[in-house]
Amino acid sequence: MTDRLWDKDVQEFIDACKHDKLADVEVAYSGIGSTFLSVSARYRTRRGRLMPIGYRWVTSEKGLTHAEVYLGTASAPGAHEAKDFFRLARRAGLFWERKSVAYALLAVMTVYFKAHAVRDRLQLEHLNDLKRDQEFSATLLQGGIDDGLDIDARRDLISQAQDMTLRTLNDLAHLYSAHSGPDST
């Protein structure tokens, strides 16, 4: 992309991915057809065990969508207070690491919010590039239905821009986060 993208938001996203207790950071969408981002990673315990950790969007039985943080099999609403993270650490069996777990969950949430900022900017750049390549109609923006343009082709281009954006975020996360493979430190 352009040098304009390597600004404060991207640097903060990269810094959040570099958290010492997180490995294998990945950004994805919460479900098929969803526009909500989710972040998953692996938390490295003091004993070296790796546990899944993340921030995701789930649908309740009533059909409502809400944010959720998780560590291992324990989960809690996407709260922003340390006391909620301490409870989650206790439910995951990491009482003695509750402070480290809280910092790791805060880092996951930071990755989530910074990924949103970077995603929005990257999608805007991709769509501006597509706009230069395609002739967009003002009547479509004004609500015109029959302007002779192929709407499905536009949706495909927008979907392609979203896929490229997600791929860029995951490439950055892969480059700058620790890895849990056999060659990791």
Nearest to 114 by CA among 17, 4, 2: 17
| pLDDT > 90? residue 170 | yes
CA distance linking residue 179 with residue 181, whole number of Å = 6
Q: Report percent pLDDT > 90 for the chain.
A: 19
Report whether 4 contacts 161 (CB < 8 A).
no
CA distances (Å), 77 to each of 7, 109, 113, 150, 166, in order? 31, 12, 16, 42, 25
pLDDT value, residue 70: 93
More confident site: 127 or 184: 127
| pLDDT > 70? residue 141 | no
CA distance linking residue 19 with residue 176, whole number of Å = 9
**What number is the average pLDDT over the span 66-88?**
83
